[in-house]
Structures are given as C-alpha cells and as structure tokens.
Amino acid sequence: MIKIDQCVAILIDGNNIERSLQSLMNKNVLANFDTLVPRLLSDRALNRLVYFREGKEISAKLAERLHENFHGSVIPCHKSADIPLTIFATQIAQKVDTIIILSGDSDYVELVRYLKSRGVRVEIAAVKKNAAAVLIDEADHFTSITEEDAFEYSPSLVVK
C-alpha cells in the first residue's frame, strides 16, 4: 500500500463558489464543506483552510463551523477575494505541498502558474460549467463541484 503524505491548504473564493452553486441549483444553496473537504483531501493532511469572502456580512455560524471542523478561518475582503487569496497563497507556498483553490475564476491562472513554478501542486475545485477552461488546463488536477456538494438552506434560518 502506498501512503500519500502531502500537506494541503484549501483556499476558498467564497463568492465565486456560492454564485456557481446558485447558478447550478437555486439561490438558497451553499457548499457542504463537511462532505466536500474530506473528498478534496482524499486522505491527505490539511494544513489550513481559509474562506475568503467579499463583504462584511459573513455568517458567524459558517465561521464557527469551519473553525470547529477544520481549524479554518474566514477572511472578509474589501472588494474581491482574488487579491487577498493570491497574496495568502504566495505566502504559504513554502509551507505546503498542495494548494487547492475553490474557484473557477480565470483571474487565478497566473497564481496557478506561479505556484507550480515554485514546486507546489495546484488543484482547482469548481462547478465545471462556470470554471474557466484555461484555469482547468493550468491546474495539476481538477475536481468538479456538483449538486451533491451543496445543501439548501432556509433564508430565515441564516444567522449572521
């Protein structure tokens, strides 16, 4: 048996993933990280999980759940998550073997190229129909996020 010993960081462009899932299903869906993260890790070690999201109104329940289940953190972004996520990825590149970016945004193509040039394996996880083909092609691996990776919520139950 071969044991894969990789240290992985998962960086999430929250707005991108939320919009992609909503276009796939309906506006009241969110990613189910409880099932998605283990599937992405595939028995590899999680170094850190960071959820970047535009706007000040981020669910405290989401932040608490990511922290409790994955020691993850939520970072609110002034405008888009692209720049903060990119800076963070370059800062941790020497500390991990693999970075999984949850986004299909072509703005990350140059980041993927840079990380790969530094010897970091880069994986993309996104809703395929909303993911840029050039981003998928540049990545070392692509995982399609599907309806099974989401859950529907009742807006009246959302706690901020």
Q: Exposed, middle or buried by CB within 10 Å (0-12, 13-18, 19+), for 130? A: middle
Rg of the chain over all Cα atoms, to the nearest angstrom: 15
Is 132 contained in some domain? yes
Instruction: Specify whether the CB–CB gap between 52 and 81 falls below 8 A.
Output: yes
Q: Which domain holds residue 44?
A: 7-150
Is 66 contained in some domain? yes
Supply the pLDDT for residue 92: 97
Check which CATH number belongs to the domain holding 134 and give it: 3.40.50.1010
Is 98 contained in some domain? yes
Edge-to-edge strands of the sheet including 141-144?
Answer: 73-77, 45-54, 7-13, 98-102, 121-126, 141-144
Q: What is the per-residue pLDDT across 55-82, written as a single tens digit (0 to 9) for each?
A: 767 778 888 989 999 999 999 888 889 9
- When divided into structural domains, the chain yields a total of 1
Q: What is the per-residue pLDDT across 100-123, written as a single tens digit (0 to 9) for each?
A: 999 999 999 999 999 999 999 999
**Predicted structure pTM score:** 0.91
Is 2 contained in some domain? no
Task: Grade residue 160 by pLDDT with cuts at 50, 70 and 90.
Answer: very low
Q: Which of 21-25, 126-130, 141-145 has the lowest mean pLDDT?
A: 21-25
Q: Which of 119, 117, 120, 118 is nearest to 101 (CA)?
A: 120
